[in-house]
Structure 1
Amino acid sequence: MKDNPVLRVVTKITIPIILLFAMYVQFHGDYGPGGGFQAGVIFAAAFILYGLVFGTSAVRRVVHLGFYGY
């Protein structure tokens, strides 16, 4: 999937929207259904999408998890 420019551009456009929706679900959980778990799943799905399109090495550059030694 790394060689498809349309998929790369669409992914770069949709990931901020997905993250914004995760924040909405998180903060809307005080007043209705939703909350931390649902927002976390949506937030993680954005990084999974990024990893599927750009590869795991790109995700490791974006997300630095010090306790895993990346």
Structure 2
Amino acid sequence: MADLLPTPEIARLDVPLAELAADLQMVALKRAAAERLRAGALLEQRHQLLDLDADSRYTVPGCAYRNCLPGTGVAS
């Protein structure tokens, strides 16, 4: 029983439920925003890759072909 916190310490650590709910809601909103940002960035990257033509001097890193579909290694 010696490892239990004293009552004043427990009271100090007690956080109102509304505050916890607000914090969780903010975390959920930030996570959703990050997922939307990531999805948008991936769409933009795919759009840019599809704009490359066979004569382009730019290549996709790790791809043996000049113009590859992202993540496939297959020329378009």
Structure with a larger share of its residues in helix: 1
Greater relative contact order (CA < 8 Å, ≥ 6 in sequence): 1
Higher-Rg structure is 2
